[in-house]
């Protein structure tokens, strides 16, 4: 087997199971799980109907590039959302959820030759796929700490100057997981300038882009930033997904958009990799990208939960309201995030994720230590009850 597999860390939820081993939760309380970022709102019926209507597609092999209808729907949505014009034939590629594409992209893009570019930069804390993708591609992960002191932003000046020439790929996540921080135009300007000088690719993970709180103020996306800065799509690839936007995590449907030359090579890789999206899923995905009303209602539900939960938790936990996404990134009293999570599970049957499980030691610290990630994915009533139980636990 590939010896690089031995470099992989246990996934955060495996660590959570190990943390809870031997713990007996309060049997008098129903479980409330706020640890995993899995949307719990019902899947819209029209998406289910489109899936059923597309079942005849099971009789055909899918095309890796996706159908004209799906690529057209994605390009049209990107035009409405980001104000950009994408060529559906060259600038858009359907993928089986952003997770598999974020991983596969590193395998396709890293130059594994002896003198090649073999460093991948990512935020820290981070989505664990970035690290696994780097390690299995034979690259060196470089973790850039995001902390309260730097506003939970990636401070590019902290990357050693001599490292940039070895960088193949920079993963960014905006809105951020777990902090909910959104990159500003100045953040993008600095990153694009570095990319233009050093030639690395920017991989923008935007799977939380449609969970925000002011309907007339959507988060700035990489495509919009690139257009506003007049640089085009050079060395930029953007990953997005229907999972959070449309409450279809089991559909495994998303897209990659950006630099046509890069996507052409990524399509070649995917053709051999065998990662074509089922025609049935394509039919449902086309319907989802073509509709915005259900997304507006989805945002309304998340906004209501944050408005209800944050006042309950503010007296006992330290946190900032997220710019977007559905996480609270909260500092716990005493600073031991793992002990807090285990105790809360035992005493109140509420599950949250220790922040240290989402980060690595870098520059002398683990920037997730002392924090927990609280995913407000359950119904409003359950989220309110979970917040009340957290208060009771801390009493």
Structural domains in the chain, CATH included, are 3-42+294-394 (3.90.1150.10), 56-291 (3.40.640.10)
**pLDDT given for residue 245 in this prediction:** 98
Tokens of 360: 């690595």
**pLDDT given for residue 115 in this prediction:** 74
Residue 321, Cβ density class (10 Å: 0-12 exposed, 13-18 middle, ≥19 buried):
exposed
What span, in angstroms and rounded, lies between the C-alpha atoms of 373 and 330?
7
Q: How high is the mean pLDDT in each 10-residue block of the chain (395 residues)?
A: 95 97 96 97 98 97 97 98 98 97 97 82 97 96 96 96 95 98 98 97 98 97 98 97 98 98 98 95 98 98 98 98 98 97 98 98 97 98 98 97
What span, in angstroms and rounded, lies between the C-alpha atoms of 98 and 105?
10
Nearest-5° angle of CA 328, CA 255, CA 51? 95
Measured over the CA atoms of residue 148, residue 152, residue 155 and residue 160, the dihedral's sign is positive
Strand partners, 32: 350
**pLDDT given for residue 278 in this prediction:** 97
What span, in angstroms and rounded, lies between the C-alpha atoms of 165 and 119?
9
How much is the pTM? Answer: 0.97
Tokens of 160: 């050693």
What span, in angstroms and rounded, lies between the C-alpha atoms of 19 and 344?
12
Residue 314's CB is within 10 A of a number of other CB atoms, namely 13
Residue 156's CB is within 10 A of a number of other CB atoms, namely 15
**pLDDT given for residue 111 in this prediction:** 87
227 in Cβ contact with 234 (< 8 Å): no
**pLDDT given for residue 326 in this prediction:** 98
Closest CA relative to residue 328, chosen from 364, 373, 289: 373
**pLDDT given for residue 112 in this prediction:** 75
């Amino acid at each position: 087997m590939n010896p690089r597999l031995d470099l992989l860390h246990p996934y955060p939820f495996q660590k959570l199971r190990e943390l809870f081993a031997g713990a007996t939760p309060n049997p008098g309380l129903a479980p409330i799980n706020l640890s995993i970022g899995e949307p719990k709102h019902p899947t819209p019926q029209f998406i289910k109907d489109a899936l059923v209507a597309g079942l005849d597609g099971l009789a055909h092999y899918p095309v890796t590039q996706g159908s004209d209808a799906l690529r057209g729907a994605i390009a049209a949505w990107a035009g409405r959302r980001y104000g950009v014009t994408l060529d559906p034939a060259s600038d858009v590629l359907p993928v089986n959820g952003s997770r598999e594409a974020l991983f596969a992209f590193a395998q396709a893009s890293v130059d594994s030759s002896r003198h090649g570019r073999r460093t991948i930069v990512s935020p820290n804390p981070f989505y664990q796929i970035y690290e696994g993708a780097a390690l299995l591609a034979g690259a060196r992960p470089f973790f850039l700490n995001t902390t309260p002191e730097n506003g939970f932003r990636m401070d590019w000046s902290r990357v050693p100057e001599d490292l940039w020439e070895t960088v193949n790929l920079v993963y960014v996540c905006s809105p951020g997981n777990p902090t909910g921080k959104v990159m500003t135009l100045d953040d993008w300007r600095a990153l694009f300038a570095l990319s233009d000088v050093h030639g690395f690719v920017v991989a923008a993970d935007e799977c939380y882009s449609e969970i925000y709180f002011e309907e007339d103020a959507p988060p700035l996306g990489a495509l919009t930033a690139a257009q506003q800065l007049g640089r085009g799509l050079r060395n930029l690839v953007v990953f997005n997904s229907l999972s959070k936007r449309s409450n279809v995590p089991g559909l495994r449907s998303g897209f990659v958009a950006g630099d046509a030359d890069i996507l052409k090579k990524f399509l070649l890789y995917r053709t051999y990799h065998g990662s074509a999206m089922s025609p049935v899923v394509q039919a449902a995905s086309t319907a989802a990208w073509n509709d915005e009303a259900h997304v507006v209602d989805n945002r309304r539900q998340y906004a209501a939960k944050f408005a209800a939960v944050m006042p309950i938790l503010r007296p006992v936990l330290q946190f900032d309201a997220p710019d977007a996404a559905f996480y609270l990134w909260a500092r716990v009293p005493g600073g031991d995030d793992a002990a807090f999570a285990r105790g809360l599970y035992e005493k109140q049957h509420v599950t949250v994720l220790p922040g240290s499980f989402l980060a690595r030691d870098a520059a002398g610290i683990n920037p997730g230590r002392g924090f927990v990630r609280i995913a407000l994915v359950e119904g409003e009533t359950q989220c309110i009850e979970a917040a009340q139980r957290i208060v009771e636990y801390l009493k």
